[in-house]
């Protein structure tokens, strides 16, 4: 039976996982540098988990300085089969109430200052991001959040902004016109990199505020965000335990969305034109597809 090894990337307010057995920590290094913090590994029942706090413990890293490539590479090297991202977000819709969770299924990427691919000169690839999350993992995560007591919205478009500043009023209104549901600063390029690494990925976004489009209310600020985040984080930790319990005893099969083999249809550089140094660098990420 193929086992699940679940990677958890914890966002703002989520720096630990509850209930880990056989807990151990490891400082790791990748060819893309060090990840945000040490990897914390353990089990919940028979399911192996690998946890990484996205901003580092103590929230040391801003959204623009998170080492996204190193984070995904470290999880891939650790044998992770699927990645659940948990992050804070602002609401752009009345019905996405602070305290609610959203199992995001689409993204609009407005980041501008981050490395967004493992590939490059000497080995070019173009992965599909039409459906950027794993439908199976997203549904399981939504079920787990609901089981933990969270109010969950299944589906939603996440606008990824650069930050670290919050939106202007004009921006917030524009994103609402685009049909976005929530706004955050960290899902991109994380989701793109997970896809390049052939890792099924899903996001549980925890709503902490109404951004600033509600002009009658005080605009979003860190103090208000932290208050809601404290409650959300407790629910998120329970949701991780629920998810692990749901996976226990089930055999992992490839993602129904073809994510485990997506590079088979993404590599474009002719074999004779491939740079050996780049191929060596990509072995952890793309060794299966590159024949390494």
Active site residue ranges: 209, 211
Q: In this structure, what token pair is assigned to residue 27?
A: 């400082």
Interatomic CA distance for residues 178 and 107, integer angstroms: 12
Count the neighbouring beta carbons within 10 Å of the beta carbon of residue 179. 12
Q: In terms of DSSP bridges, do strands 47-53 and 152-154 run parallel, antiparallel, or are they unpaired?
A: unpaired
Interatomic CA distance for residues 180 and 94, integer angstroms: 12
In sequence order, the 6+-apart residues with CB closer than 8 A to the CB of 60 are: none
Measured at the CA of 64, the angle between CA 62 and CA 70, to 5 degrees, comes to 95
SS3 annotation, 10-62: ECCCCCCCCCCEEEEEECCCECCECCCCCEEEEEECCEEEEEEECCCCCCCCC
In sequence order, the 6+-apart residues with CB closer than 8 A to the CB of 291 are: none
Interatomic CA distance for residues 160 and 273, integer angstroms: 34
């Amino acid at each position: 039976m193929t086992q699940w090894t679940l990677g958890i990337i914890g966002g703002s307010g989520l720096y630990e996982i509850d209930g880990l057995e056989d807990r151990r920590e490891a400082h790791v290094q990748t060819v893309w540098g060090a990840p945000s913090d040490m990897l914390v590994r353990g089990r919940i029942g028979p399911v192996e988990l690998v946890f990484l706090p996205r901003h580092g413990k103590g929230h040391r890293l801003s959204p623009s300085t998170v080492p996204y490539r190193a984070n995904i590479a470290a999880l891939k090297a650790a044998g992770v089969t699927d990645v659940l991202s948990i992050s804070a977000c602002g609401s752009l819709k009345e019905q996405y109430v602070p305290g609610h969770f959203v199992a995001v299924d689409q993204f609009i990427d407005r980041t501008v200052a981050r490395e967004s691919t493992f590939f490059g000169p000497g080995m070019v690839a173009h992965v599909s991001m039409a459906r950027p999350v794993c439908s199976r993992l997203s549904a399981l995560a939504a079920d787990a959040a609901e089981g933990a007591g969270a109010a969950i919205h299944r589906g939603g478009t996440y606008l990824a902004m650069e930050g670290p500043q919050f939106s202007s009023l004009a921006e917030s209104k524009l994103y609402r016109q685009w049909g976005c549901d929530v706004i955050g600063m960290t899902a991109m390029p994380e989701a793109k990199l997970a896809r390049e690494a052939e890792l099924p990925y899903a996001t549980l976004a925890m709503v902490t505020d109404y951004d600033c489009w509600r002009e009658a209310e005080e605009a979003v600020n860190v103090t208000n965000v932290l208050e809601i985040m404290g409650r959300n984080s407790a629910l998120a930790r329970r949701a991780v335990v629920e998810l692990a319990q749901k996976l226990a005893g089930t055999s992992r099969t490839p993602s129904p969305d073809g994510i485990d083999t997506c590079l088979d249809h993404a590599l474009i550089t002719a074999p004779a034109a491939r740079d050996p140094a780049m191929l060596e660098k990509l072995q952890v990420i793309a060794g299966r597809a590159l024949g390494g």
